[in-house]
Amino acid sequence: MDDDRAQCSTCSSFLRYQERFDAVYCPACDEWQETKCGDPRCRFCSERPRRPSLADEMIVRERAERRESLQRTREVNDRCTTTLGELLRAARSDAKR
């Protein structure tokens, strides 16, 4: 994508590609260079914010949310391991008696 040196027709800045929304934009104008496809089920266009700068914030937020939910999953897993370990210990001490 680095070879794609298309320029903005308004300000001549080099355009960038926003992977999350599958669209090219001009960072200087803060404007998308592609119109939406109009499909309400399209996960790119239907969720695309009005401005590319808003997209960055959105992606940061999405990443933070994903990290949080990952952490939650890991905490649950830790708890399960502990419980399992305790159960095994309990079972072993039962067997000894």
Strands in 23-26's sheet, in edge-to-edge order, are 16-18, 23-26, 31-32
Nearer to Zn ion, 42 or 59 (CB): 42
Q: Report in angstroms how near the CB of residue 3 gets to Zn ion at its nearest.
A: 20
Query: How big is the site for Zn ion, counted in residues (CB under 5 A)?
Result: 11
Q: Which stretch binds Zn ion (CB under 5 A): 26-34, 54-62, 71-79, 86-94?
A: 26-34
Nearer to Zn ion, 5 or 96 (CB): 5
Q: Per CB under 5 A, does 24 bind Zn ion?
A: no
Residue 23 to residue 55: CA distance in whole angstroms? 11
Judged by CB under 5 A, the residue of 18, 21, 26, 48 near Zn ion is 26
Residue 47 to residue 45: CA distance in whole angstroms? 5
Cα-to-chain-centroid distance, residue 75: 21
